Structure 1
Amino acid sequence: MAQRITIALPGQHDWVQRASSVRDVERIEAFFGGHGYDMHRHATYAIGRTLAGVQSFHYRRSMTHSMPGGTLVLHPDEPHDGSAGTDAGFRYRMLYIEPSLIQRVLGGRPLPFIAGGLSADPRLLAASDVLLRSLDDLAPLEEEDAIFDLAQALAAAAGAPRGRQAVDYRAAELARSYLLDRLECTVTLDELELVSGRDRWRLSRDFRVLYGTSPYRYLTMRRLERVRRLVVAGQSLAQAALWAGFTDQSHMTRHFTRAYGLSPGRWLRALRGLPDPAPTLQDRTR
């Protein structure tokens, strides 16, 4: 059963509705009347569509404007923000999908990249429709089929990468599994080299090609996901930070804010439907 949470955001009419499946696919629907979120980046694909209005965001040194009818495809680890392009605000639906799920279909091909963050490809629009048409639960087999179709459509829309070099998918998967088993530990490239049997620099290159980010960033984002799960389950931010492998709460907070565009405290207040505290005199004079 998907978990659906409505989040009241600081803007007068802003809202987010979130539905998480039991897999690694997170789906949201949201409305923002003005500024949505600061620059941040995910270790997942962010794939979605604008349902109403104009959705404007900075992406790869350009300002991009999304309107209904196309597909948003933000590559893993690419910084972006979000705001309304008009006074009417914008409404959108988005899914966040682990690159490893795409790789299970592509089997070691380079991760597809959609230039500009927008695509008018009808194959991609059709393939993403099952996952984006609503936030309702999907049957496990339906979700598996949808992920397969989405991976194939991403590859077709992106086309063949230029200057492709051979990558070692098995070695990268061994390294990724090792990272997932040791979220709370300090991991070195020496260890990843040993467990994968691949030279550290070739492994680092292959990891980026296959999963869209570096081993270190991948580990950090998985730790942040653990923090979010622990906090939702009732753990304090300080305890969650330690259990997820961060040095302390401030260490975790720095990474959290860079990754999600808001602090863990603000994220938690929004999740609970609580307003932001009134700004202090010091805040007003900054």
Structure 2
Amino acid sequence: MAVAVPEGGHRARPHRTGLPGLEAVSVASDRTFPRHAHDQFGIGLVLAGGHRSWSGIGAVEAVPGDVITVNPGEIHDGVPVQGRGRAWQMLYLDPALLADLTREETPGAVEITHPALRDPAVAGPFARLFTAIAAARPEPLAVEQALTALLTPLLDRYGNRTPPRRGPPPFVARALRRLEEAPAEAVTLAELAGLSGVSRFQLLRGFSRATGTTPHAYLMQQRVRLARRLLAAGRSPAEAAAEAGFADQSHMTRAFMRQFGVTPARYRAALA
């Protein structure tokens, strides 16, 4: 099936999945997405064009037919190959839902080890799941069954029990905790550095080395993630913008689009 890829444009369509904890979106875009992270597992299928992203194992490329993945909290970005647009379908799966579906097979926390993979045993079930989701009225049982059929080969072949990870330096961990616990509150670099008694230069350098991004970019990610939760809880875009600490709704919309590829209004409508 031919997929139109926009030149100089961006289209994103959220889909109702009928299953709490599972979100779906179809995207066709030539935009570059900055480094960011999600609360959920991301599993996608490239339909057209080429996609390059930075991941924990370095830069990877994906072409049509490839499955792309990202773990919760994993910093990544997205760039069109050779500047041309690409199209893909993406699923976002809450960790709690994955744990509930796979509790007996994969006890404990898991991670997906390959950010890009070519495997018909995974791509096929993904396509069938998206077909079930794209139905006029998704049937929860059909969606849940198809999701389980996708997770089985994906985790069998590319899942791994999460090993103990070496955390960031304590002064970076304190800054991260402050940004995550109160993203709506204004903060300065001096305040973050003062939490551990280091200089602003030390904090900025150590933070970037440990996370792959800057404190301000990380704060914006946290605000967008908070806004997403508020929208899912029924807040209007204006209310979510105010409660998440954005200057105004348009500021939130721009940040939300950069991270999720859809507007807050369309995201909220897809959950209605």
Q: TM-score, normalised by structure 1?
A: 0.57
Name the counterpart of 2:204.
Answer: none
Q: What does residue range 145-164 of structure 1 map to in structure 2 within 5 Å?
A: 145-159=145-159, 161=161
Structure 2 residue runs of 5 or longer lacking an equivalent are 1-5, 165-221
Please, which moves more after superposition, 125-134 or 22-31? 125-134
8 Å CA contact 1:230–1:240 kept in 2: the answer is no
Q: What does residue range 88-237 of structure 1 map to in structure 2 within 5 Å?
A: 88-107=84-103, 109-133=107-131, 135-136=134-135, 137-159=137-159, 161=161, 223-229=226-232, 234=236, 236-237=238-239
Matches of 2:237 and 2:126, distance apart in 1: 35
Counterpart of 2:28, as a letter, is: F
8 Å CA contact 1:253–1:263 kept in 2: the answer is no
| Cα offsets for 1:62-118 (capped at 9, x unmatched) | 111110122111111111111210243111111111111111122162344333401
- Distance verdict in 2 for CA 1:223–1:156, change over 3 Å: same
Matches of 1:154 and 1:123, distance apart in 2: 8
Matches of 1:75 and 1:162, distance apart in 2: 11
Q: How far apart are residue 49 of structure 1 and its match?
A: 0.9
Matches of 2:39 and 2:253, distance apart in 1: 12
Cα root mean square deviation, aligned: 4.0
8 Å CA contact 1:43–1:77 kept in 2: the answer is yes
Matches of 1:102 and 1:31, distance apart in 2: 27
Please, which moves more after superposition, 107-116 or 38-47? 107-116
> Quick check: 1:79 aligned with 2:75?
yes
> Quick check: 1:15 aligned with 2:11?
yes
Matches of 1:124 and 1:30, distance apart in 2: 20
Q: Secondary structure at the match of 1:100?
A: helix
Matches of 2:108 and 2:258, distance apart in 1: 28
Q: How far apart are residue 17 of structure 1 and its match?
A: 1.4
| Cα offsets for 1:101-144 (capped at 9, x unmatched) | 11112216234433340122333223322223473342111011
Name the counterpart of 2:185.
Answer: none
Give the fraction of aligned pairs with identical amino acids, expressed as a percent.
19
> Quick check: 1:58 aligned with 2:50?
no
How many aligned positions are there? 203
8 Å CA contact 1:48–1:73 kept in 2: the answer is yes
Counterpart of 2:66, as a letter, is: G
Q: How far apart are residue 241 of structure 1 and its match?
A: 4.5
Counterpart of 2:36, as a letter, is: H
- Distance verdict in 2 for CA 1:55–1:227, change over 3 Å: same
Q: How far apart are residue 20 of structure 1 and its match?
A: 2.6
> Quick check: 1:24 aligned with 2:27?
no
Q: TM-score, normalised by structure 2?
A: 0.59
8 Å CA contact 1:124–1:157 kept in 2: the answer is no
